[in-house]
Each structure stands twice: as C-alpha cells, then as structure tokens.
Amino acid sequence: MSKDIQIHKGSNLNLEGEANKILVDLPAPKTFALNPDDFFNLTPKLVVKEGESVKKGAPLFFSKENPRIIFSSPVAGEVTSIVRGAKRKILQVLITSNESNEVVSHEVSNFESLDSDAVKEILLKSGSWPFIKQRPYNTIAQPEDSPKSIFISTYATAPLDVDYDFLLKNNKDDFQRGIQVLKKLTTGDVNLSIDSSFKGFFEKIEDVNLIGVSGAHPAGNVGVQIHKTDPINYGERVWVVNPEDVVNIGILFSTGEFSAQRTLAVVGSSVEKPQYYKATIGACLKPYLEASNLDDKEEFRVINGDVLSGSKTSADGYAGFYNNLISVIPEGNHYRMFGWLPFVDNHVPSISKTSLSWLFGSKKATVTTNLNGEERALVVTGEMEKVFPMDIFPMQLIKACLVEDIERMEALGIYEVVPEDFGLIDYASTSKIEAQDIIKKGIELMIKEVG
Amino acid sequence: MSFLRKKIDQIKRPFAKGEKWEKFAPAVNAFDTFLFVPNHTTQKGAHVRDAVDLKRTMVTVILALVPALIYGIYNTGYQYFIQTGEAFTFIDAFIHGAWKIVPMIIVSYAVGLTIEFIFAIYRGHEVNEGYLVTGLLIPMIMPVDIPLWMVGISTAFAVLIAKEAFGGTGMNILNPALTARAFAFFAYPTYMSGNKVWVSEASNVDAISGETILGSLAAGSDVSYSMLEMFQGSIPGSIAETSALWIGVGALILILTGVGSWRIIIGGILGASIMGFLFNLWGANALMSFNWMNHLVVGGFAFGIVFMATDPVSAAQTNKGKWIYGVLVGIFCILIRVFNPAYPEGVMLAILLMNVFAPTIDHYVVEANISKRKKRWANAQLKTA
C-alpha cells in the first residue's frame, strides 16, 4: 500500500433507501437501449438501420471524431427503432432481444503476450473501448494517447452508492484479469483506490498501486483522488475505468466476447425493497423497479446514477452505460408554508446550520426533488469551499466558466475537475446555482477551443 | 392551507407567462414566496437540494440583529430619562425608543423595497432578499434624532448608487447600509456628528449632553462610564451600536449558523486589539491611551465587524482573504479613530475602505493558487501525448 488519502471537506448525505445486500437474478427484459448522451461530447454515426438484426457485440454506431471507437449492442436481437430529437439528433437506439446467444467473437488467446497496440485493437473492435474514459474532460479516452496513469475507484461515497466489494464478489478473477489488461495500456501505475477502513477483496488484487481513501463525499470521486495523488498538468492524460467495467474487460479477454454486464442497485425512498440486480447495460428498467416494489402512489423521479449527478430518466427508461445506481426519489412539486424560516421543516436534510436537521445525525432522511427555494444572485461565499476538497477555488472557476474566459479557466484548474465534483456544490448552494451545468458547458468550450 | 394556496394561485393567474400582467410577476412572486416555499423542482444539476436558501440566510441575519435592536430601542429611552432625571420604568424607556425608531425602520423598508421592486420588474428578475437585512441595518446605525426624510434619502442613495447601479444584489462593491450612513454623514454632518445628536432630544433639551465616549476622548476630556456600562451598552451612540453584549449574542448566532464569517469577525477583533495595544504603549493622547479592551466595546466597532464587515458580497470572498480583510478592518478602524479626531467613528470608513480593497485581496490569494499550479506544470515532465 502506498500513500493514503484523507479527505476532510465534504459531506455524506444520509438518505433513506440504501440497497440491501441481496443480489437478485431476474429474467432478462425484452428491450434494451443505448443512449449516445451517456457519452460526454460524442457525435454518433449510425451503422445500423431500423429493422436490422444484430448480434451481441456488433457495432450500432461509432464516434464521428474517431471512427475507431465503436459502440456495440449489449444483446442479440433486432434494432426496433432509432429515436431522434431536434435536428435529427440521435436520442436512443432501441433493440429488442431475440434471446439467442448469437455473439461476435474475437481472438484473445494468451493476451499476456500481446502488446499495448494489440490490446487496444481488441478493446476497440469489440466495442469495449468506451469503458475507458479520460481526464481531463471525462470524455471517452483517445486510443492514440498513452496515459500517465489509470485510476479505478472502488470507494463509493455518493448518496446511496453501491458497495463494490459486494457487487463484484462473483467476479474476482475477471477483475484481476481486467487489471492486467489495463496495465498494458499505461507506462505509469494502475491505481486502485479502496476504502481505508474496510478493504475487502480488493486488497488482494495484484499489479496495482493500492490507495486507501477515507472521508466524506466527494472523496470517492476519482477526480478528487487523482487531484490528491498526482494532479493533472496541462497536456497530460489520465484514464479512469469503473470497477465493473474492469470486470467487463476481464471477461472480454477470457471469453473473447463483448461483455455488457451491469449490476444495478435500485435505491431511494420511493422503493420498498432497495436491492441489487444482475442486469445488462441499456436494460429496460421496468422489471427491476417492479421487483423493488416501487411506491407509485405519489409522483417519483427515476435517476440513472446518484441523486447528485445522475441523469433523469423515467419508469419506462433504460439503464445508462456507466451507472450502477438507479435512484428513485419522490418528486417535490408541492408547496411548504413558511418553509423558508430558519429552523423550521427540519425534516428536509441540510448541511447548513440554519436548519436543525444536523441534530438528527444518524436518522436517515427522505429527500425530494424540490429546489427548496428559488434561484438568486450569488451572495453567500465560503459555502462551496466547505464541500470541495480540491486545492482549487470553486467559485472563481465557476465565474470564469460563466464568462468563457479560457485562459483563466485553465489557470484555475479546469483540467482537474469534471461536473460530478461540483455535485455537492449544487446541493449546498444557497443561491441554487447550477454549478455542474456551468462546469459542463465550460468543459465543452475547452474541448471546442483547446481540444 | 390548501384554501389559501388556491386563492393565491387564483390571484396569480393574470401574472402568469403570456398573460396581461406578466411583467409584474416578480412583485407578486415576492409576496407568494413569503408564504410558501415554491413547488419548483430541480431541472438540471443535482436532483436534490439543501433546505437553505437566500430567504433563510437573510432571515437568520435578522434574527441575529434582533437582540441588538431591542436593546437599542430600550437604550434610546434609557439615555433620555437618565439624563433628564425623570423617573422611568423599563416599559417607559422602551416605548420612548420605539416611538422614535419604528418610524425609521418603516421609512427605510418602504423606500428601499419600493426601489427593489421597481428594479426587479424592470430587469425581470425575482426580488432579492438582501434588502431585508440592509433595510433593518440602516436605521440601526443612525443617530436617533435624524429626521425621517434624511433616512429616506440616504436609503434611496444607497440602494440606487451603491447597489442597483452595479447590477443589484450580489454585484455591489460597497456595503449598501454603510453607504447610506456615509451619505448621511457627509451630506448632513450636523445631524450625524458632534455632541448634540447621540441622545434622544439632546438638541432640544439643554440638560441632555449627547456626547459619545469617542467624541469626548477626541476632545480630550475624561470618560465617565465604567467598562461594564460600555460592554452592556448603556452609553450614548448610534441606535443599536452601543451594546457589545447583545451584538455578541448576534455574533454567536451568525457564527453558529455559519451565516457570518467567523474568520472576518475574529480577524477584526485581532486587528483592533493589536492596534489598540500598540497605541496604548505609545500613549501620546487620550484616545491613544484609551485601554485597548475598551476600544473593542465602545463606538461602532463591534456592530460594524459583526454585521457590516461580514456582508459576504462586499467582503473578501476567499477564506484566506477573509482573514486579511478582517484584520485590516480592525487595524484601520482604530487607526482612523486615533489619528483623525474629526471622524471618531472609524469603523464605518475602515469597512468602506476595505470593501474597495476586498477584490484586490482576493486577487492576490487566487493568483497564489494559479502560480502554484503553473509552477507544477512547468516542473512536470510531460508523461503523455
């Protein structure tokens, strides 16, 4: 074990509806969908038409900027429809599974002897490349780059986040194999961050640089961990992979087939039985929500990801490409009389001391999507710094993004952050500013102007 | 509750988007959101939000101001009765003070909020809650006998020139309440300084001397108040600035709720103590040899550092900057007091001066972070493409 990281700033939201450690295997759903918006800054180019049959692992679309990066079908079946939005933007590629085992195979025997380029080629051809993302920007990694290091975070701190030790308990060998594959892609370290108080099986993983992490959210964000161990400098690239995608890569190099395994945890106060499910990327969420006893008496919101930085979907929606979490919380579209008075409505969780909710420390809170106020000018200072553990001035960076001052964004550290690092800032903001959205637009500007 | 809600929704209908009175929606919304936290849900960014909002924050500041205000109202009557020698009860003193001060608060809110509403409608944004605090602060830092029309004009000047001209809430350089006081101070000096304004009716009744402690020190005369009196605030002065005790209670509320910056408050006290102590050592005149601890409790220093210097918009915004800003406010406050007998009340000018320099302080704090990053870039051997 190398250096440990302790994070002192931040906050864990103690919410109702954490997943019980039960892994349920439901019959696979019929429909699946791939949503190009899951991939930041991607322009997809379709290779399939409506009505076409595809095998599992066959390409559906590729990246316009880099045609080597393809996106594969998670199941065998038929492309039933391609949903388009304004300006013919592709919103969803829908596939109806035919429950066959037709699958595209790749030659992967004795991968230990392959070099970096050969490994990349297999990852690209199989459609597994999108599992690897890069920092800065959180876009899909460029296969031409060779990263300074690779980071995998198994320390999950987002509200109601999964327990990777439990989630991957059946995939220990695949995880180890995935690590060995990733090791070939970098001249630097493959860093595996683990909970420094509970290590689980990850401690026994070989060929990695283990980093123990402790502290409140956003300590689990891989960006925070990179910042604390080896911050990104101008022009450098660091690659990040989610733990279950390490497993998917491991499975690819043992079976030769694209693996789209995605264990989903349905969590939140709107489900009675929050638990884990064996599922697949892009799976229709309905059966999983039903199996969790969704409480649909009042309006609810289904979120792909955690409640701070996930993306909104619906009960008829589909699992995202990257997220293990499906959060379901009640909509907050109701009024609260005199709810703005300090020290009233203490059931609404708050990390500000203008509420007495901190007195209920260990009690789990139920949150809704109510904004709890209205958007206002930026008045209060110092609240962002309390939940932002990086050596970066968050408010100054947000302001630089707002005025699109590229030089200043660069100087203030835009390369070291991604929107999810600002999730708690969104949450804690007195003025209800949309920090994640501002940072996202700032990063889009950086990609356009600097690249 | 649902009956009231329905009625409000009914009243608001002509103000909805695309309807006849759409432009005036901010005015109606301001009243509506005082009754109810709106039903708005998150549309982008984090799906859940903290219970805190600007209304809650500003009302917390008002809560913190209330102890000092109540004591200020009582002290106004107390100073009057004690100097005229009439017998009085607590209630008498309180009523005497309220009779003078409540109209000032009403004028300040009426003038200020009218301007705020007009600008909100004109600019098409919601009415910001910042004025709730400013509107209460302005009367609290005025001498009690200032004519109401002067309160009104100072308020209008502050809101228009110090705040709206810069773009409204969150954009102002100077603290609006202090700007109102500075305006009154320079526009109507006979009502704002001297030894006839600090006690109720002092200019009409000869028996009353309205001199403040700092005023008499500047004139070279002795101080007839004990430290305890100075601390609890039974001394002449601007309405709510006298009681360090009740201002301290307010400070505690601000610090415990995290609404006011403890860095600025503690920095300010440190700065003032050090400066006062150094002058004690020098001791060339009455103000210099005035005990440094007494410096902290007389005049407007306590009120200024707790409620004015901590205004997050006009103060420094970085944590390090807040320390520097606080310490400098403290130092300049005592410096102005001691070296400029014409302005014995140094805290107002010290805070306004530091308001102007706060962006500069932040600039250097942020630049330090930037140059650290640039240095790291220069030292890194580029390991990747």
* Contacting B residues, span 177-206, partner chain A, CB-CB under 8 Å: none
- In this model, does residue B385 exceed pLDDT 70? no
Q: What is the mean pLDDT of each run of 10 residues along chain A (451 residues)?
A: 82 91 93 94 94 94 94 95 93 92 87 89 94 94 93 94 93 94 92 89 90 93 94 92 96 94 94 95 94 89 94 94 95 86 84 80 84 89 93 95 95 94 94 94 94 77
The residue in chain B having the minimum alpha-carbon distance to the alpha carbon of residue A188 is: B383
Quick check: B213 and B233 in contact, CB under 8 A? no
The answer to whether residue B321 sits within a structural domain is yes
**Containing structural domain, residue A221:** 108-255
Q: Is B37 on the interface with A (CB under 8 A)?
A: yes
B46, two tokens? 């984090």
Which backbone phi and psi does A433 adopt, to 5 degrees? Answer: -80, 160
For residues A243 and A166, state if they share a domain: yes
Residue with tokens 């003038």: B111
Pairing of strands A261-267, A44-46: unpaired
B346: domain CATH number? 1.10.3430
Average pLDDT in the B11-21 region?
Answer: 82
**What was the pLDDT predicted at B381?**
66
Kindly give the interhelix angle for B90-123 and B148-157, rounded to the nearest 10 degrees.
Answer: 30
**What was the pLDDT predicted at A235?**
87
The answer to whether residue A160 sits within a structural domain is yes
Q: Is A349 on the interface with B (CB under 8 A)?
A: yes
For residues A158 and A250, state if they share a domain: yes
Query: How confident is residue B196, by pLDDT bands cut at 50, 70 and 90?
Result: confident
For residues B31 and B59, state if they share a domain: no
- In this model, does residue B108 exceed pLDDT 80? yes
Residue with tokens 């505690």: B252
Pairing of strands A190-195, A149-153: parallel
Q: Is B2 on the interface with A (CB under 8 A)?
A: no
Contacts of A345 in chain B (CB under 8 A): 37, 51
Contacts of B52 in chain A (CB under 8 A): 350, 352, 354-355, 372-373, 428, 430
Each residue of B26-51: pLDDT tens digit?
888 888 888 888 888 888 889 999 99
Best residue in A150, A234, A327, A379 for a mutation probing chain B (most B CBs within 10 Å)? A379
Q: Is A355 on the interface with B (CB under 8 A)?
A: yes
The answer to whether residue B165 sits within a structural domain is yes
For residues B10 and B91, state if they share a domain: no
The answer to whether residue B231 sits within a structural domain is yes
Size of interface A-B (CB pairs under 8 A): 231
For residues B340 and B283, state if they share a domain: yes
How close is the nearest chain A Cα to the Cα of B118, in Å?
Answer: 17
Residue with tokens 């709730």: B132
Dihedral class, residue B97 (left if φ above 0, else alpha if ψ from -120 to 50, else beta): alpha
In angstroms, the first-to-last Cα distance of chain A is 35
Domain total of chain A:
3
Q: Would you call B126 and A376 a contact, using CB atoms and an 8 Å cutoff? A: yes
Contacts of B368 in chain A (CB under 8 A): none
**What was the pLDDT predicted at A350?**
86
For residues A80 and A193, state if they share a domain: no
For residues A135 and A71, state if they share a domain: no
Pairing of strands A149-153, A238-241: parallel
For residues B163 and B264, state if they share a domain: yes
The answer to whether residue A260 sits within a structural domain is no
Three-class SS of residue A94? strand
For residues B7 and B151, state if they share a domain: no
For residues A251 and A139, state if they share a domain: yes
Quick check: A370 and B41 in contact, CB under 8 A? yes
Q: Would you call A233 and B376 a contact, using CB atoms and an 8 Å cutoff? A: yes
**What was the pLDDT predicted at A1?**
47
The residue in chain A having the minimum alpha-carbon distance to the alpha carbon of residue B359 is: A396
Average pLDDT over all residues of chain B: 89
- Kindly state the DSSP code that residue A271 receives in the 8-state scheme: B
The neighbour count for residue A144, using CB atoms within 10 Å, is 9
- Kindly state the DSSP code that residue A76 receives in the 8-state scheme: S
Residue A374 has its nearest CB partner, among B40, B312, B322, at: B40
Q: Is B313 on the interface with A (CB under 8 A)?
A: yes
* Contacting B residues, span 59-78, partner chain A, CB-CB under 8 Å: 59-60, 63
pTM metric for this prediction: 0.92
- Kindly state the DSSP code that residue A357 receives in the 8-state scheme: G
For residues B31 and B60, state if they share a domain: no
Average pLDDT in the B194-213 region?
Answer: 79
- Which residues make beta-bridge pairs with A311? A304
Q: Would you call A350 and B258 a contact, using CB atoms and an 8 Å cutoff? A: no
Residue type, A380: V
The residue in chain A having the minimum alpha-carbon distance to the alpha carbon of residue B130 is: A379
Residue B36 has its nearest CB partner, among A337, A354, A379, at: A337
Q: State percent of chain B over pLDDT 90.
A: 58
For residues A126 and A201, state if they share a domain: yes
How close is the nearest chain B Cα to the Cα of A13, in Å?
Answer: 10
For residues A121 and A212, state if they share a domain: yes
Q: Would you call A340 and B313 a contact, using CB atoms and an 8 Å cutoff? A: no
For residues A421 and A387, state if they share a domain: yes
For residues B17 and B156, state if they share a domain: no
Residue type, A120: K
How close is the nearest chain A Cα to the Cα of B57, in Å?
Answer: 7
Domain total of chain B:
2
The answer to whether residue A236 sits within a structural domain is yes
Q: Would you call A413 and B373 a contact, using CB atoms and an 8 Å cutoff? A: yes
Element (H, E) at A290: helix A286-291
**What was the pLDDT predicted at A50?**
93
The answer to whether residue B370 sits within a structural domain is no
Q: Is B383 on the interface with A (CB under 8 A)?
A: yes
**What was the pLDDT predicted at B197?**
83
For residues A133 and A181, state if they share a domain: yes
Best residue in B2, B50, B374 for a mutation probing chain A (most A CBs within 10 Å)? B50
For residues B28 and B116, state if they share a domain: no
Quick check: A48 and A70 in contact, CB under 8 A? no
d(CA B302, CA B349): 14
Q: Is A393 on the interface with B (CB under 8 A)?
A: yes
* Three-state secondary structure readout of chain B: CHHHHHHHHHHHHHHCCCCCCHHHHHHHHHHHHHHEECCCECCCCCCCCCCCCHHHHHHHHHHHHHHHHHHHHHHHHHHHHHHHCCCCCHHHHHHHHHHHHHHHHHHHHHHHHHHHHHHHHHHCCCCCCHHHHHHHHHHHCCCCCCCHHHHHHHHHHHHHHHHHHHCCCCCCCCCHHHHHHHHHHHHCHHHHCCCCCCCCCCCCCCCCCCCCHHHHHHCCCCCCCCHHHHHHCCCCCCCCCCCHHHHHHHHHHHHHHCCCCHHHHHHHHHHHHHHHHHHHHHCCCHHHHCCHHHHHHCCCHHHHHHHHCCCCCCCCCCHHHHHHHHHHHHHHHHHHHHHCCCCCCHHHHHHHHHHHHHHHHHHHHHHHHHHHHHHHHHHCCCCCC
Q: Is A267 on the interface with B (CB under 8 A)?
A: no
Which one, of A355, A419, A364, lies nearest residue A160 by Cα? Answer: A364
Q: Tell which of A221, A255, A289 closes a domain.
A: A255
Residue type, A101: N
Residue A309 has its nearest CB partner, among B36, B46, B370, at: B46
d(CA A307, CA B291): 56
Contacts of A439 in chain B (CB under 8 A): none
**What was the pLDDT predicted at A25?**
93
Contacts of B37 in chain A (CB under 8 A): 335-337, 339-340, 345, 370, 372-373
The residue in chain B having the minimum alpha-carbon distance to the alpha carbon of residue A366 is: B48
Each residue of A372-400: pLDDT tens digit?
888 888 999 999 999 999 999 999 999 99
d(CA A49, CA A82): 8
**Containing structural domain, residue B13:** 2-35
Q: Would you call A352 and B258 a contact, using CB atoms and an 8 Å cutoff? A: yes
Residue A374 has its nearest CB partner, among B59, B126, B370, at: B126
**What was the pLDDT predicted at B1?**
61
ipTM over 0.85: yes
Residue with tokens 């450098």: A236
Q: Tell which of A232, A255, A278 closes a domain.
A: A255
Which one, of A177, A132, A152, lies nearest residue A229 by Cα? Answer: A152
How close is the nearest chain B Cα to the Cα of A78, in Å?
Answer: 33
For residues A125 and A211, state if they share a domain: yes
Query: How confident is residue B382, by pLDDT bands cut at 50, 70 and 90?
Result: low
How close is the nearest chain B Cα to the Cα of A339, in Å?
Answer: 6
Each residue of A278-299: pLDDT tens digit?
999 999 999 999 999 998 888 9
The answer to whether residue B97 sits within a structural domain is yes
Q: Would you call A327 and B47 a contact, using CB atoms and an 8 Å cutoff? A: yes
- In this model, does residue B268 exceed pLDDT 90? yes
For residues B25 and B124, state if they share a domain: no
Pairing of strands A261-267, A275-280: antiparallel
The residue in chain B having the minimum alpha-carbon distance to the alpha carbon of residue A348 is: B51
How close is the nearest chain B Cα to the Cα of A4, in Å?
Answer: 21
- In this model, does residue B267 exceed pLDDT 90? yes
Contacts of A353 in chain B (CB under 8 A): 256-258
How close is the nearest chain A Cα to the Cα of B315, in Å?
Answer: 9
Q: Is B49 on the interface with A (CB under 8 A)?
A: yes
Q: Is B38 on the interface with A (CB under 8 A)?
A: yes
- In this model, does residue B128 exceed pLDDT 50? yes
B174, two tokens? 């100077």
For residues B144 and B114, state if they share a domain: yes
Q: Would you call A382 and B49 a contact, using CB atoms and an 8 Å cutoff? A: no
For residues A75 and A163, state if they share a domain: no
Contacts of B317 in chain A (CB under 8 A): 381-382, 395
Which one, of B264, B320, B48, B50, lies nearest residue A393 by Cα? Answer: B320
Q: Would you call A335 and B38 a contact, using CB atoms and an 8 Å cutoff? A: yes
Q: Would you call A352 and B317 a contact, using CB atoms and an 8 Å cutoff? A: no
Residue A145 has its nearest CB partner, among B256, B322, B384, at: B384
- Which residues make beta-bridge pairs with A303? A312, A327
Quick check: B40 and A335 in contact, CB under 8 A? no
d(CA B240, CA B73): 8
A47: domain CATH number? 2.40.50
A217: domain CATH number? 3.40.50
Q: Would you call A336 and B51 a contact, using CB atoms and an 8 Å cutoff? A: no
For residues B166 and B21, state if they share a domain: no
For residues A123 and A243, state if they share a domain: yes
The residue in chain B having the minimum alpha-carbon distance to the alpha carbon of residue A339 is: B37
Cα angle value B268/B269/B271 (rounded, 5°) = 65
Q: Is A429 on the interface with B (CB under 8 A)?
A: yes
Each residue of B52-86: pLDDT tens digit?
999 999 999 999 999 999 999 999 999 999 888 88
How close is the nearest chain B Cα to the Cα of A72, in Å?
Answer: 28
For residues B72 and B30, state if they share a domain: no
Q: Alpha helices, DSSP H only, in A362-405?
A: 383-386, 394-402
Each residue of B299-329: pLDDT tens digit?
889 999 999 999 999 999 999 999 999 999 9
Which one, of A100, A104, A95, lies nearest residue A126 by Cα? Answer: A104
